[in-house]
Amino acid sequence: MNSALLTVAIIVLVILIAVIAVQRVKYKNLLFQTEQSKKDLQEREAIMQKEAMIKAKEALHNEREQLNADERERRREFAAIESKLSKREDQLEDKIQELTDKELELDKIKDKLIEKEDYLDEIVTKQTIELERIAGMSAEDAKRMLLEQLKSDLAQEQMQLIRENEAKIREDALEKSKEILSTTMQRCMMEQVVESTVSVVSLPNDEMKGRIIGREGRNIRTLETLTGVDLIIDDTPEAVVLSAFDPVRREIAKIALEKLIQDGRIHPVRIEETVEKSREEVEKKIMKEGENAALEMGIMGLNKELIKNLGRLYYRTSYGQNVLKHSLEVGHIAGMLAAELGANVYVAKRAGLLHDIGKAVDQTQEGTHIQLGVELASRYGEKPDVIHAIEAHHDDVTANTVEAVLVKLADAISAGRPGARRDTLEIYIKRLQKIEEIVNGYEGIKQSFAVQAGREVRVIVQSEMFDDLASQKLARDIAKKIEDELDYPGQIKVTVVREFRTTEIAK
């Protein structure tokens, strides 16, 4: 048993020794191969370095050759340029010499010209002295006379040109404006309603006056207190006059009184009920008129308060012209003018409809109708261009949009339509006096007359102070001053009359 184990152990030991020997041989071979590879690698690196050095030297040599070639080329170019510059220098020297010669020649010519100029000055002086002796005036006097003559001639030519240009411009502008305005006004024919500050209510008989007054005047006092209207009961047969500055109150009182007369029951309680019902009817009428106006103009999105104030204009008049009808007419005209000129039609119509909205409240609030209109439009959300047109339609501010100018123009057209408005006698007389005052302020006016209800002014001038051109200038100056200082509907024609009379007596 022990011998078998020993044998196995020896065999194993021998095997191990053999394996170790084999591994040692392999290791030595590996070391040898590694050393051999290292040597081969070093040899290859040395060869590559030599090849690289050779290539670098070749590249350096080629670069040197190229540089030398470039340098030789540049030297040839520089030599050519130097040759050209040398030639140009020679040419410039020749030209400088020529210019020097010419300058000397010009100096000689200049000296001769100076001599001739002195000679001519002497001759001119002698001739001037001789001409002054012959003419009997000095050169300064002759020059002054010539300048005055030239100034006169230029003034005449200037006036002639102005007259011709004015005639041409007026002809063209008149033709175009007539075309636009006639087209616009033909498309807009609005009814003009004339009212006053009083209303008359017809009575079935004179006995009704006593019933309206009531016992100790209680009925009439109640009616006047509730409506704010004065009832005038005088000797006028079968009529009662209602007087109030506020047209809405007057309308409420008129409707209430007509209902009371029709009903026959007139006492304070009944009066109070009737006035309340009449007020509701008028309020409904106001809203209806405002809505109808906005609908007729095609204006949407108006605030209810603006519609209400617009409806109040139905009962408001200005110079006898119904303000709501006037506003509708202005809106239509402004819209059509905007369409003709390519402006914003909607803004023009909206601003034209609302331009006098301030007149709905100017009897109950402080301020002009323009200020109140701007305040209302701003408060109820109107756009800036509409507000500006409202503010500028009477030149309170300068109109800086086309639509604002068109609203202003449409307002003047509507107000200036024949029969549209009714001036008071006092305003009419003041306007005539102001026209004559403006005309008589010019020098050389003999007489002036405002005729045709202030539509024309005739000016008679002193004939010795004006010629044809001066008369035309005077007419234009007067017209311009009237435009600047007066407000008036329509146009005022200025006619200057210059009459020359010669009288001799045969003896």
Alpha-carbon 284 to chain mean position:
40
Residue 420's pLDDT is what?
A: 52
Residue 173's pLDDT is what?
A: 65
Residue 416's pLDDT is what?
A: 64
Q: Alpha-carbon distance 190 to 329, whole Å?
A: 6
Q: Which residue has the higher pLDDT, 138 or 196?
A: 138
pLDDT bracket for residue 170 (50, 70, 90): low
Name residue 378's amino acid.
S
pLDDT bracket for residue 278 (50, 70, 90): confident
Q: Which residue has the higher pLDDT, 498 or 490?
A: 498
CA separation, residue 156 to residues 162, 169, 175, 473 (Å): 10, 20, 28, 11
Residue 190's pLDDT is what?
A: 45
Burial grade of 281 (CB within 10 A; 0-12, 13-18, 19 or more): middle
Q: Which residue has the higher pLDDT, 481 or 501?
A: 481
Q: What is the 3-state secondary structure (H, E, C) of 39-100?
A: HHHHHHHHHHHHHHHHHHHHHHHHHHHHHHHHHHHHHHHHHHHHHHHHHHHHHHHHHHHHHH
Tell me what the mean pLDDT of segment 264-276 comes to. Answer: 85
Residue 45's pLDDT is what?
A: 83
Task: Check whether 175 has a pLDDT greater than 60.
Answer: yes
pLDDT per residue over 360-414, tens digit each? 887 777 888 888 888 988 988 888 999 998 888 887 788 888 888 888 888 887 7
H helical segments located in 322-424: 323-341, 345-354, 369-379, 384-392, 402-416
40: tokens are 């081969």
Three-state DSSP at 320 gives: coil
Residue 301's pLDDT is what?
A: 84
Q: Which of 407, 241, 411 is nearest to 323 (CA)?
A: 411
CA separation, residue 229 to residues 246, 413, 441, 448 (Å): 8, 34, 48, 46
Kindly give, in sequence order, each residue whose CB lies less than 8 Å from that of residue 409, ignoring residues fewer than 6 positions away. 333, 334, 337
CATH second-level architecture of 198-416? Orthogonal Bundle (1.10)
pLDDT per residue over 194-244, tens digit each? 345 567 777 888 778 788 888 888 888 888 888 888 888 877 777 888 877
pLDDT bracket for residue 134 (50, 70, 90): confident
Tell me what the mean pLDDT of segment 329-338 comes to. Answer: 88
pLDDT per residue over 26-47, tens digit each? 877 787 888 788 888 888 888 8
Residue 489's pLDDT is what?
A: 64
Residue 195's pLDDT is what?
A: 43
Task: Check whether 143 has a pLDDT greater than 50.
Answer: yes
Alpha-carbon 426 to chain mean position:
37
Burial grade of 37 (CB within 10 A; 0-12, 13-18, 19 or more): exposed
Residue 189's pLDDT is what?
A: 45
pLDDT per residue over 56-69, tens digit each? 888 888 888 888 88
Percent of the chain past pLDDT 70, that is, above it, reads 89
Task: Check whether 81 has a pLDDT greater than 60.
Answer: yes
Strand pairing class (198-202; 239-243):
antiparallel
Residue 422's pLDDT is what?
A: 52
Question: Average pLDDT over the chain, rounded to whole?
Answer: 81
Q: Which of 2.170.8.10, 3.30.70.1350, 3.30.70.1400, 3.40.1710.10 would CATH assign to domain 425-498?
A: 3.30.70.1350
Q: Alpha-carbon distance 377 to 286, whole Å?
A: 18
Residue 483's pLDDT is what?
A: 86
Residue 194's pLDDT is what?
A: 37
Task: Check whether 319 has a pLDDT greater than 70.
Answer: no
Name residue 147's amino acid.
L
